[in-house]
Structure 1
Amino acid sequence: MARLTALLVAALIVGLLFVELTMRPTAEERLVFATIFGSLAVVALLTTPLLLRFARSSRRFRDALTVAASTAVFVGVAVVGVAAAGMFLSEHDLRLTLVSLATGTLVAIAQLWALSSALSSDLSQVGDTVNRLMDGDLAARAELDRTDELGRLAASIDALGERLEGLEAEREADERARNELLANVGHDLRTPLTSMRVAVEALQDGVARNEGAYLSSIATDIRHLTQLVEDVFLLARLEVGDIAFDRTTIDLADLADESVQALTPVADRNGVALELDVGGVAMANGDVAQLGRALRNLIDNAIRHADAEVRVHVRGEGEASVVVRDDGPGFPPGMTDTAFDRFSRGDEARARDGAGAGLGLAIAHHIATGHDGDLTLLDGPGGALRLRLPSA
């Protein structure tokens, strides 16, 4: 109310100054105009709280806007009419002035009704959009073609809807990934557990002819389960960024040589020739243990899919990279976008034929990206993967 009073006083002063500068009124005319403008200010001061109360209680914005604007127009007409009468116009001129003002008022009210109808419709559309979003229709959009405050509000609500829709899609994707994780882990646990149960029952019943072989099989299954649990736990930590890499300057050629030496017995057991080819100095900043794990995963994957040969190429021209290529059938065409997903394997069969749990490439991919590098599939022949890291 204090702000309204200040504005009305300012308007009264401006009006009187305008009269003084444009009309050079007499003392009597000054009194008339001061009375008229003062009465107008008093009327505005008394009616504004009533209009605000009506606006807040009105069920439609259009009605509140129409009443407020109509009141302003009628007050203006009344002021002009009183001023015209005070200027001693003839009865004919006064009647003509009032009729003209009345006609202009009706025209203004008609225009105001049309404008308020459009505004009320847009407000209803925004409200309907919010209600649809609250009811779960995340595709609801207001899509108002306006540049004013209402248009910006509608644009913000539309942006919120898009964000909610994206978050819902992410939630559904996470839910599917969780279900797939549980199903795949359960499948990979079932086979070794079943094998261990059968071996233990055979030992308990005394039907095992070679107890050492049965115990060796149980030990192998335990190692498989331990590796699976460790890989799942490591991948979960990598995905949420829970692993801090201990970065040092490393020579990828030395790291690749260590990985090749560690996996040579596995290659020999599978009848695969494993060779290392180093071309240039390949220095990078990274975690020795984690990058070594990534390289071993790539080489182990290549050995399991190779027919007779796996080659590891280290290059250091402009960037440090390692390419692991096998002479096997290569990656299936439809696997390009899923090769680095959890439990992704070219062969969907879950038989324990040494095909692994399908976590190695996913782990290697996260380790590479965590070092500001990448892991990509290359074109054949055979299967080929390239690990690239920024040069040190």
Structure 2
Amino acid sequence: MNDVLLIAVFALVGAAGAGLAGAVVLRLVRHRSVAVSLAVVAAVTVTAMLAGTLAVAQAMFLSAHDLWVVTVVVAMAALVSMATALVLGRWVVARSRALTRAARDFGEGGGFCAPAGTATAELAALTRELASTSARLDASRRRERALEASRRELVAWISHDLRTPLAGLRAMAEALEDGMAADPGRYHRQIRTEVDRLTGMVTDLFELSRIHAGALTLSPSRMSVYDLVGDALSGADPLAREHGVRLVGEDVAAVPVEVDGKEMTRVLANLLVNAIRHTPADGTVAVAAERREGAVVV
């Protein structure tokens, strides 16, 4: 029993020395390819076995013939281990390089295309994560393109809407300046109306910027849809009369909702103004509100 214990101690000391040397080598090559690390691990394993054997032999627990036999066996195991480590390392490196190329293409704006072939569990998990990230980024790019198109369209609409009142203001100012206005008071009232209209458009743009910036705070309260629609109809009635459009709000149910009254009134007013402007003279703009599937539909 004492001999077995001594053999174990000598073998442990020899193997520990080889393991310590292997740890130092692994630290030195930690920035190199994974194939090098795998080769070092295989070499450390075989070297630890050989070092333990040599330590036991030096303590005279093995004969020269037995030591030679064990050395030959360890050498053959070393050859097989090193070959296996190199093959495995080259396969992992090749898969990693393919994944790197796919990630590079993905980073340059293209979609992520997972490399063909099998991979280790870690590389497969990384591939799935990159594919998921690519899908999210693609959806984000589509949303960004849609937002950019909406911004361009909004700028075009704003330019068109601003051009008309500005041209009218310029014409009325020139008429007043040249003394060609038959009724200056009417011109002054019209200028004030156009200025109020421009002020409303600027206010809407400011509110839109607050919405996009996430700075718009809402204060919902319980109120009736009937009252909201009634206020919006009252506010849009002068514009409807000017365009010869009839407003109808008879089919509005008195159902309660939780909304911000000020902002919802603005929404309804904008919808009514757009409807009035796109409705021919002698036309009708009808508003209805009812409860449908747990919600209130206007």
Q: TM-score by structure 1 length? A: 0.62
Residue in structure 2 matched with residue 45 of structure 1 by the alignment: 20
Question: Aligned to 2:30, what secondary structure does the other structure show?
Answer: helix
2:109 to 133, 137, 144: 137
Count of residues in correspondence between the two structures: 294
Go from structure 1 to structure 2 and tell me whether the alpha carbon gap of 1:128 and 1:288 turns closer, same or farther (over 3 Å shift): same
Residue in structure 1 matched with residue 276 of structure 2 by the alignment: 303
> What displacement does 1:116 show?
0.9
Go from structure 1 to structure 2 and tell me whether the alpha carbon gap of 1:255 and 1:320 turns closer, same or farther (over 3 Å shift): farther
Q: Deviations for 1:69-124, whole angstroms, at most 9, x for unmatched residues?
A: 12322332454577689665694x76655444433332222222211111112232
Go from structure 1 to structure 2 and tell me whether the alpha carbon gap of 1:95 and 1:250 turns closer, same or farther (over 3 Å shift): same
* Contact preservation (8 Å) 2:25, 2:40: no
Of 250-259 and 122-131, more deviation after overlay is shown by 122-131
Residue in structure 1 matched with residue 6 of structure 2 by the alignment: 31
Alignment of 1:262-301 (within 5 A): 262-278=235-251, 280-301=253-274
Alignment of 1:242-281 (within 5 A): 242-278=215-251, 280-281=253-254
Q: Deviations for 1:31-66, whole angstroms, at most 9, x for unmatched residues?
A: 34422322222232244213321x1353x3212321
* Contact preservation (8 Å) 2:236, 2:269: yes
Q: Deviations for 1:225-261, whole angstroms, at most 9, x for unmatched residues?
A: 1221122222222344433333322121233233334
CA distance in 2, matches of 1:257, 1:250: 12
CA distance in 1, matches of 2:148, 2:270: 27
Tell whether 2:77 aligns with 1:110.
no
* Contact preservation (8 Å) 1:275, 1:311: yes
Go from structure 1 to structure 2 and tell me whether the alpha carbon gap of 1:319 and 1:129 turns closer, same or farther (over 3 Å shift): closer
* Contact preservation (8 Å) 1:142, 1:154: yes
User: CA RMSD for the aligned pairs?
Assistant: 3.5
CA distance in 2, matches of 1:313, 1:169: 35
1:56 to 18, 21, 30: 30
Residue in structure 2 matched with residue 119 of structure 1 by the alignment: 92
Q: In structure 2, give the amino acid aligned to 1:238.
A: I
Tell whether 2:287 aligns with 1:312.
yes
Q: TM-score by structure 2 length? A: 0.79
1:215 to 183, 188, 197: 188
Residue in structure 1 matched with residue 198 of structure 2 by the alignment: 225
Identical columns (%): 27
Higher helix share: 2
Runs of at least 5 residues in structure 1 that lack an aligned partner in the other structure: 1-24, 322-385, 388-392
CA distance in 2, matches of 1:296, 1:29: 96
* Contact preservation (8 Å) 2:245, 2:276: yes
* Contact preservation (8 Å) 1:282, 1:320: no
Go from structure 1 to structure 2 and tell me whether the alpha carbon gap of 1:184 and 1:258 turns closer, same or farther (over 3 Å shift): closer
Of 82-91 and 94-103, more deviation after overlay is shown by 82-91
* Contact preservation (8 Å) 2:35, 2:85: no
Runs of at least 5 residues in structure 2 that lack an aligned partner in the other structure: none
Question: Aligned to 1:314, what secondary structure does the other structure show?
Answer: strand
Go from structure 1 to structure 2 and tell me whether the alpha carbon gap of 1:30 and 1:312 turns closer, same or farther (over 3 Å shift): closer
Question: Aligned to 2:215, what secondary structure does the other structure show?
Answer: coil
